[in-house]
Amino acid sequence: MSSQTRQLEQDQVFKEEIPPPEDGRLALIIRYLKMQARTKRTLSDFLFKILLAICILVIVAPFFMVLVQVLSVGIPEVFGSGPGQGLEFFGTFPGPGLEGGIRNAIVGTILLMVVACMIGIPLSVCGAVYITEYAKPGTVTSAIEFAADVMAGIPSIVFGAFGFAFFVDFLHIGMGLIAGGFTLAFMMIPTVLRTTQEALKQVPMALREASLALGATKWTTTWNITIRAAIPGIITGILLAVGRVMGETAPLIFTAGNTLGVPTSVTGGGSWVASLPYTVWSYITDPREYLQAKAHGAALVLLLMVLAVDIIANIILRKLTRRVV
Amino acid sequence: MSQQIKEDLSQFIRELRSAKGSARIDLLGRFGLLIPALASSAVIVLILTFLWYESALIFASPEGGMGIIVNPTWNPNRDLYGIAIFIAGSFMCTILAIGIAVPLGMAGALFLSEFCPHRLRGPIRMVIEMMAAIPSIVYGLWAYLVVTPWIGSVLAPAFGVESNGLSLLAGGIILAIMLLPTIVTVSDDALQSVPRTLREASLALGATSTETARKVVMGAAMPGIGAAVVLSLGRAVGETMAVLMVTGNALQIPFSLFDPTYVMTSIITNQLGYAFVFPLWRSALFAVALVLLLMSISFTIMAKLFIRWGMKTRGLR
């Protein structure tokens, strides 16, 4: 503390000895700093702000470090023109030594997303419609809300272990598209349910009342008026859930299997399906050197897909809030 | 309760008989929507039952019993299924990550909410939200190829330790990075919701802006920040891929930051594929999953309590 005071006294001496320069950016900065160092309290105020600014830099730095790592190795794979690079990276299946492209993983991820959406969206959207439009606020509503919140916090590997025990083993579906898709669908439910609920709550009551006053039934009002008004919010929720689920590896390890081609059947051994996150994981832990670059390429593709979905969701959300406000 | 359900149901059937056309669709629709609503929340019950059903074997058998939770020896070849070592590993990793991420994240949220220039706020929040969207496998790839070699070649020699980098510290660092977006965004929202009048009152009494931020705004936002911390605790315990790739997966309780460790999520990922034909081994792995699930449920409940406390301090409910 005494050193700070001494520093302050020195500053004051410094100010008296050298006359302040007339103009220029540097002079302005110096004057600003001196103003900040006027007393001990303003100085600590200033230093605390600087410390917080450094903290935020430390927080966002890893984002750029991850980006640099993935881009520096991944770009030649994705946009290059060598064997197994560029268009070939997207368009060809991996050979027996895993050389070639990652078409199996891209197709597999899209297929899994389609299955997950087909099951997850109707369940969660209908559930949200029921608890906001039909159910009286009470035990049922809060029980469903609580279940959704708990599900949002369940670790992904627990979903994976459950999917393995229930779909693969208990229901004898076997690993593949159906088991993996259902497991991912369950992971989507909480996000979609909660965002749909929020979107429905935002729809003005007057719209519903106008429709009901015109003699429409509750059912017609809900599906033709309320849902239509809430559709941007619902789509945002679905996209956020898809973006989150697309990058999950752990639930797929024991439920989806892996394959070098595309699934040929809906159930049984032919339905094993590859996915981008699983491919990244298996390539990065493989001792063969050339697979490292492919892992980066696959990670870049996955990153671009996830960020694209996320950014579209954000744009829709921003447009929506602007319209409402 | 059952009397009322019976009454409701009979009334519903009476109405359905008398209704025609669109009114009948309306009534059927009401009933039809109840099914997905219940189904989506029945999933959690299904998960709990199945994990219990799968792990009942190890809890009932003489080799296992409830004692496996405190038994530190894991050796499936000799039918020893103590899972304490994984609980300890998860616990230490989480504590380390929370220790790094909470002070840093709170400082970041404070800056973002109180001092950030208006033009920078949007972009910084966008970057942080994008960080939350990056899949854990991509963080894992980066940590495995960049962070662990750095720890092995720079940090460990600096402390005079031999390490290949696959360590508790690497797990803590990558977990902290993955938690930061949650902590920053939730805390930032909590700080933003503090009424303006509180800040103005403090400034009018002569406090500097950092004193206001630290003592008044932080205090008022405490419940929200508490919820952020508890939510991120749940995420830290349940994180799988990134931690699996960098913690080294050695069956020991770590004694220093540079020792490898084994967490609960890793043991399930690594061994379920081999274990599913051995009933006891498989059952022990599902017991680990059950412990994970119960931990995440209790964290969610704690976070909800924090939020309710926050509502109460604002007099909202």
C-alpha distances out from residue A224 to A117, A118, A131, B120, Å: 22, 21, 18, 41
The CATH number linked to B194 is 1.10.3720.10
Same domain flag for B165 and B210: yes
Residue A151, pLDDT score:
92
Supply the angle between the helices B22-60 and B279-313 in degrees, to the nearest 10.
Answer: 120
CB contact under 8 A, A250 and B40: no
Its domain, for residue B28, covers 2-60
Q: Spell out which residues of chain A touch residue B239, defining contact as CB-CB under 8 Å.
A: 155
Cα end-to-end distance, chain B, whole Å:
28
Nearest to B268 by CA among B254, B287, B252: B287
Residues 6+ apart with CB under 8 A from A144: A127, A131, A193, B37, B38, B40, B41
Residue A18, pLDDT score:
55
Residue A325, pLDDT score:
39
* Token pair 């503090």 in the structure block, residue: B194
Same domain flag for B139 and B209: yes
B117: left (phi over 0), alpha (psi -120 to 50) or beta: beta
Same domain flag for B177 and B220: yes
Same domain flag for B53 and B180: no
Q: Please give the Cα distance from B189 to B171 (Å, whole number).
A: 28
Residue A225 has pLDDT above 60, yes or no: yes
Whether B283 maps to a domain, the answer reads yes
Q: Spell out which residues of chain A touch residue B293, defining contact as CB-CB under 8 Å.
A: 154-155, 158
C-alpha distances out from residue A202 to A206, A233, A313, A316, B163, Å: 11, 9, 17, 15, 55
Same domain flag for B41 and B106: no
CB contact under 8 A, A285 and B245: yes
pLDDT tens-digit readout, A152-176: 989 999 999 999 999 988 988 888 8
Instruction: Select from B28, B60, B92 the last residue of a domain.
Output: B60
CB contact under 8 A, B133 and A124: no
Provide the β-strand partners of residue B261: B248
Other beta carbons within 10 Å of A91 = 12
Other beta carbons within 10 Å of A301 = 23
Same domain flag for B91 and B6: no
Whether B69 maps to a domain, the answer reads no
Same domain flag for B87 and B47: no
Q: Please give the Cα distance from A116 to A177 (Å, whole number).
A: 10
Same domain flag for B56 and B78: no
Min Cα distance A77 → chain B (Å) is 16
Return the residue of A nearest to B103 by Cα.
Answer: A55
Q: Please give the Cα distance from A119 to A24 (Å, whole number).
A: 65
Whether B255 maps to a domain, the answer reads yes
Interface test with B, best of A42, A45, A56 (most B CBs within 10 A): A56
Interface of A with B in 215-234 (CB under 8 A): 217-220, 222
CB contact under 8 A, A158 and B51: yes
pLDDT tens-digit readout, A13-66: 555 555 555 567 888 888 888 887 788 888 888 899 999 999 999 999 999 999
Return the residue of A nearest to B214 by Cα.
Answer: A48
Dihedral (Cα; B246, B251, B252, B257), 10-degree rounding = 0
Task: Write down all domains in chain A, each with its CATH number in brackets.
Answer: 2-79 (no CATH), 101-324 (1.10.3720.10)
Q: Is A243 on the interface with B (CB under 8 A)?
A: yes
Same domain flag for B26 and B151: no
pLDDT in tens, chain B (317 residues): 677 778 877 887 887 777 777 777 888 888 888 888 888 888 999 999 999 998 988 888 887 778 888 888 888 888 888 889 999 999 999 999 999 999 999 999 999 998 988 899 989 999 999 999 999 999 999 999 999 999 989 888 888 888 888 999 999 999 999 999 999 999 999 999 888 899 999 999 989 888 898 888 988 888 888 888 998 898 899 998 899 999 988 888 888 888 899 999 999 999 988 888 888 889 999 999 999 999 999 999 998 898 888 878 776 54
CB contact under 8 A, B214 and A156: no
Q: Please give the Cα distance from A251 to A180 (Å, whole number).
A: 7
Min Cα distance B159 → chain A (Å) is 22
Q: Spell out which residues of chain B touch residue A153, defining contact as CB-CB under 8 Å.
A: 231, 234-235, 238, 296-297, 299-300
Average pLDDT, chain A: 86
The amino acid at B58: I
Whether B65 maps to a domain, the answer reads no
Question: How many domains does one find in chain B?
Answer: 2
Q: Please give the Cα distance from B211 to B218 (Å, whole number).
A: 10
Q: Is A121 on the interface with B (CB under 8 A)?
A: no
Same domain flag for B28 and B122: no
Q: Are B108 and B177 in contact (CB under 8 A)?
A: no
Instruction: Select from B21, B37, B60 the last residue of a domain.
Output: B60
Q: Spell out which residues of chain B touch residue A66, defining contact as CB-CB under 8 Å.
A: 134, 138-139, 142
Other beta carbons within 10 Å of B9 = 11
Interface test with A, best of B24, B41, B144, B293 (most A CBs within 10 A): B41
Residue A263, pLDDT score:
84
% chain A with pLDDT above 70: 91
Lowest mean pLDDT among A9-13, A72-76, B225-229: A9-13
Residue A1, pLDDT score:
46
Same domain flag for B83 and B46: no
Q: Are B265 and B246 in contact (CB under 8 A)?
A: no
Q: Please give the Cα distance from A97 to A78 (Å, whole number).
A: 19
What is the token pair recorded at A264?
């040929």
* Token pair 């979905």 in the structure block, residue: A309
What is the three-class DSSP state of B74?
strand
Residues 6+ apart with CB under 8 A from A258: A272, A273, A274, A278, A279, A282
Same domain flag for B17 and B119: no
CB contact under 8 A, B41 and A147: yes
Q: Please give the Cα distance from B177 to A95 (Å, whole number).
A: 36
Full DSSP string of A177-196: HHHHHHHHHHHHHHHHHHHH
Interface test with A, best of B40, B205, B210, B299 (most A CBs within 10 A): B40
The amino acid at B77: N
Facing A153 at nearest CB: one of B184, B211, B296: B296
Q: Are B221 and B193 in contact (CB under 8 A)?
A: yes
In this predicted complex, what is the ipTM?
Answer: 0.89
* Token pair 């720890």 in the structure block, residue: B151
Q: Spell out which residues of chain A touch residue B56, defining contact as CB-CB under 8 Å.
A: none
Q: Is A57 on the interface with B (CB under 8 A)?
A: no
Q: Tally A–B CB contacts below 8 A.
A: 256
Return the residue of A nearest to B208 by Cα.
Answer: A45
Return the residue of A nearest to B110 by Cα.
Answer: A52
